[in-house]
Amino acid sequence: MKLLNFFLILFFLVTGIHSQSTDKFQMETSVATLELNDEGEILITSKAEDEAKIGLRVNELWDITLVNKHNLRKERALTDISAFRTETSPQKLRFYAKELYIDDISTTVNAEFTIEVKNDSFLFSGNISCTTGEWIIKSLDYPRLSKMEVGKENTKIYWPDGLGQLFNSPTEFGTKKSLDYPSGWGTMPWFTLNSGNYGVYVGVHNPLQHNANITLGAMDGTFDFISNIHTPIYEADYTMPEFVVKPYKGTWHHAAKYYRSWYNENFKIASSPDWVINDTGWLLAILKQQNGNVMWPYRDIDQLCDIAKKFNLTTIGLFGWAVGGHDHLYPNYLPDPLMGGEKELKDAIKRAQDRGIKIILYANGKLIDTSTDYYRYRGMETMMFGNDKKPRMDFYVKHNNKSPEIFCWACTGSGYWRKTMHDLALQANSLGADGILFDQLGVLRPELCYSTYHDHKPGHGDSKYRLQLIREIREDLKEKNSNFVVMTEASNTSVLQEIDYTHGWGKAYAPSDNAFPDLYKYTFPEFMTTQRNGNPLLTKTDANFALLYGLKYEVETRYTADVEYLLKGKTPDADSYWNVNYPPDINKMKSLTMEESAKYVHSLIDFENTHGNFLKRGKFISDEGITITGKDVIARGFTNDNDDEMGVVVWNQNETEERSFKLSVPDYKYIRADDPLNQNVRQNSLLAPNSIRFLLFKKIN
């Protein structure tokens, strides 16, 4: 066997990058071919004519940045490209170099980059190491795709910022965007370009889910794109994960399924308790604001329950419930005597639960208020440091007439911080709450921390420890109370493994330009999240949006004028939020009364419960297999548990006019249609302005 390998190796073509070889190297997947020509250019071309072309230049394919071990500010780029040699074997390309030089001095850095075909994709991988440890590999840019063209004028860009964005052209996309994975802005480490029947998937398949920054740029005046994956490393040795470039036939759904199948091989998404799956949504209530203004003393949690009931919401999130109020004195979360004290809080939580309402308590997973003793005496162990040895600072300025609170970021790589958060979860359980929300753990970018006090090496991000923090707490608390949940704000495919219920944050959690919640929701239909609505009401549009995409509803009360709107029906004017920096949308509050909003949301939730086998406990399938025609109308589908029936929700987005539509669901037979306010409607009768309809189909065997 060894002898055979030896002879095979003899057949390998070993050349320099600028080789004069006349044979072109080729390898292929089922739908595309990769070719290396003798000018050092790699071209990936679809087998079907004109569907996709991806050009790479070997001398631009990677960029390595080093920092000197003794002087972390001394950074150098490794530009010694001519030292690399090329080796080819069937279905694999290899570029390698030993002892790369900077200015005639050996760095003792060895590097290898490989491209091979695996799982019908082109995989880019490799390794870098510094044998003497004199230099640290700071970062890597690889692979750099110099030119991507998919379907020319039909190119659409599917981009996982928040729940997802869809851009219909390079112009809509803009010049350049980056996904900072894992964060609320880079929720999955992949994107796809798709022309409707052909696409290219670009992704990072890293079982460690380390930080990755994926950039896509549109080339001005063309349908061409450039892309780059940047990886912060800070190690003397680094084995690259698989960077995947996969041309595929079909719609964007194929790309989503491809990522999901890789995800399933490595991770498991948290399974939420039944109460979360059946939850209708939550009323987010700030009890005490940052400036000390108490709006809801603990005894008034009863009134919050009345409001939740009016909207048909089954959970209340208590924010600003502790001594400091919201975004003040973190991480000190002691029940506030001013609001009634611990016993009154416990009693109020119990009364809410007796009425069928779940209570979640807030904690921030990242912020330390620098005015606290915690900062003074535990800051050194817990806070995140930049490369400049200074704490990483942050501000949340809620009022325009009060000196801003000054926060620094805690690092979840600190064992003491994880213990602090764990203690808060234990406290929430002992107060009788149904769960705890650790704010920001799903949101914040994976910043690099240079503290020497933490479990990670200096220069690493803390995203791995965010997951560890949540996992440790969740496992312990579930043992004490199996229905206790851990929540966070925003999602990404790292925290997704340990979060029972998400508070929506980021792109596409509310209607907006290019919003495409389908991307995340189709990839992870089990994902349980609220929409995001920073208002003390829901407009019909915002409520219908939540129903269509399977998001739980949200109503927020944050300021005194919100309270007056909710309790007294008082419509605000410009003056109502005079000292507030982020007021709710006053136009929305003027557009309908709280009673009107609550009545509509209540009926919509009843309707959703009626069709709960699809809309709550079913599987969101986006628009796969569904074709709808008609102006202003869109449709989304949900299959039931047995996968033998499909419920399709059609929404007329026009706010003033009726609309007709035609729906086609091949392989399914129409059964019946249902509207929230007008039952037993006909399948294709006109849809009232801004209304939705549920249509039931049965699979034809």
The phi, psi pair for 129, rounded to 5°, reads: -150, 150
Compute the least distance from the CB of residue 437 to Zn ion, in Å.
Answer: 22
Q: Residue 331: is the preceding peptide bond cis (ω within 30°)? A: yes
Compute the least distance from the CB of residue 610 to Zn ion, in Å.
Answer: 49
Give residue for tokens 């000054």. 406
Kindly tell me which of 413 and 446 has the beta carbon lying closer to Zn ion. 413
Query: Cα–chain-centroid distance for residue 296?
Result: 32
Kindly tell me which of 412 and 691 has the beta carbon lying closer to Zn ion. 412
Report the distance separating Cα 447 and Cα 395, nearest Å.
16
Cβ atoms of 27 and 120 closer than 8 Å: no
Kindly tell me which of 188 and 411 has the beta carbon lying closer to Zn ion. 411
Compute the least distance from the CB of residue 387 to Zn ion, in Å.
Answer: 12
Report the distance separating Cα 232 and Cα 449, nearest Å.
12
Compute the least distance from the CB of residue 191 to Zn ion, in Å.
Answer: 29
Compute the least distance from the CB of residue 213 to Zn ion, in Å.
Answer: 19
Cβ atoms of 345 and 320 closer than 8 Å: no
Report the distance separating Cα 638 and Cα 518, nearest Å.
12
Containing H/E element for 258?
helix 252-266
Q: Which residues pair with 435 in a beta bridge?
A: 360, 485
Kindly tell me which of 170 and 446 has the beta carbon lying closer to Zn ion. 446
Handedness of CA 59, 65, 70, 71 (dihedral sign): positive
Give residue for tokens 């052909």. 198
Cβ atoms of 199 and 247 closer than 8 Å: yes
Site residues (CB under 5 A) for Zn ion?
411, 413, 449, 451, 454
Report the distance separating Cα 320 and Cα 558, nearest Å.
9
Q: Residue 328: which residues within 8 A CB-CB, separation 6 or more?
A: 290, 369, 405
Report the distance separating Cα 34 and Cα 22, nearest Å.
16
Kindly tell me which of 259 and 374 has the beta carbon lying closer to Zn ion. 374
Report the distance separating Cα 181 and Cα 179, nearest Å.
6
Report the distance separating Cα 129 and Cα 14, nearest Å.
22
Report the distance separating Cα 51 and Cα 391, nearest Å.
50
Q: Are strands 92-102 and 85-89 parallel, antiparallel or unpaired?
A: antiparallel
Report the distance separating Cα 608 and Cα 135, nearest Å.
59
User: How many helices (H) does the chain have, and how many strands (E)?
Assistant: 15, 40
Kindly tell me which of 183 and 194 has the beta carbon lying closer to Zn ion. 183
Compute the least distance from the CB of residue 419 to Zn ion, in Å.
Answer: 15
Kindly tell me which of 365 and 413 has the beta carbon lying closer to Zn ion. 413
Cβ atoms of 127 and 239 closer than 8 Å: yes
Compute the least distance from the CB of residue 372 to Zn ion, in Å.
Answer: 19
Compute the least distance from the CB of residue 235 to Zn ion, in Å.
Answer: 16
Kindly tell me which of 95 and 417 has the beta carbon lying closer to Zn ion. 417
DSSP 434: S
Amino acid symbol at 77: A
Cβ atoms of 192 and 201 closer than 8 Å: yes
Kindly tell me which of 410 and 515 has the beta carbon lying closer to Zn ion. 410
Three-class secondary structure of residue 609 per DSSP? helix
Beta strands (DSSP E) in 69-104 are 71-78, 85-89, 92-102
Kindly tell me which of 358 and 418 has the beta carbon lying closer to Zn ion. 418
Report the distance separating Cα 261 and Cα 253, nearest Å.
12
Kindly tell me which of 34 and 67 has the beta carbon lying closer to Zn ion. 67
Kindly tell me which of 115 and 449 has the beta carbon lying closer to Zn ion. 449
Compute the least distance from the CB of residue 386 to Zn ion, in Å.
Answer: 11
Kindly tell me which of 36 and 411 has the beta carbon lying closer to Zn ion. 411
Report the distance separating Cα 614 and Cα 314, nearest Å.
19
Kindly tell me which of 247 and 413 has the beta carbon lying closer to Zn ion. 413
Compute the least distance from the CB of residue 388 to Zn ion, in Å.
Answer: 15
Q: Which residues pair with 109 in a beta bridge?
A: 100, 130
Compute the least distance from the CB of residue 420 to Zn ion, in Å.
Answer: 14
Compute the least distance from the CB of residue 488 to Zn ion, in Å.
Answer: 19
DSSP of 560-588: HHHHHHHHH-PPP-GGGGTTBSS---HHH
Compute the least distance from the CB of residue 469 to Zn ion, in Å.
Answer: 12
The three state secondary structure string of 23-45 is CCEEEECCCEEEEECCCCEEEEE
| Environment class of 531 (CB within 10 Å of its CB; exposed 0-12, middle 13-18, buried 19+) | buried
Cβ atoms of 504 and 554 closer than 8 Å: yes
Angle between helices 594-610 and 301-311 (to 10 degrees): 60
Report the distance separating Cα 74 and Cα 419, nearest Å.
36
Compute the least distance from the CB of residue 136 to Zn ion, in Å.
Answer: 17
Kindly tell me which of 348 and 441 has the beta carbon lying closer to Zn ion. 441
Kindly tell me which of 121 and 412 has the beta carbon lying closer to Zn ion. 412
Which of 454, 376, 391, 464 has the alpha carbon at shortest distance from 417? 454
Compute the least distance from the CB of residue 454 to Zn ion, in Å.
Answer: 4
Kindly tell me which of 325 and 391 has the beta carbon lying closer to Zn ion. 391
Compute the least distance from the CB of residue 464 to Zn ion, in Å.
Answer: 11
Compute the least distance from the CB of residue 239 to Zn ion, in Å.
Answer: 23
